[in-house]
Amino acid sequence: MPDSGLSRVLQVALCGGLWLAGGAAAQTKPGEQVYREVCMACHAAGVANAPKFGDRKTWAPLIAEGQAVLTAHGWVGVRGMPARGGNPNLSLEEFSRATAYMARAAGGTWRDPDPKMLAAIRAEEKKRIGALKAKK
């Protein structure tokens, strides 16, 4: 059966729609959105001693640890917090943006991570995993 013009248009439209849907799903979420979808459940109320959103006094020593260190520790899991805030679907960049968003709300000056910061976070992640394995 020969390929009709209409059939070809439908194929292109379908493939274009799939590409657009895939592109939309691949976009990195901003920190505030990740905070609201994932982090807020614990950080709004201080569940399991999570530092409350905007609490400058509680966040100050955490911010002093540095962006790469605190983000990497949270990414791996630290204190009462599960790895990735309990959401295995978060990317490191999304998690890092949410951490920076929360730090800024508590008086920090952290920026959303650029490639250099993401590399520093990955390096700290490796150190943290090594330290955790050594404790076992």
Give the residue extent of every domain in the chain: 28-135
Predicted TM-score of the model (pTM): 0.79
pLDDT, residue 126, reads: 97
Comparing CA positions, the residue from 25, 38, 125, 32 lying closest to residue 88 is: 38
Class of domain 28-135: mainly alpha
Q: Average pLDDT, whole number, for the chain?
A: 85
Residue 28 has pLDDT above 60, yes or no: yes
SS3 state at 52: coil
Q: What tens digit of pLDDT does each residue of 34-57 get?
A: 999 999 999 999 999 999 999 999
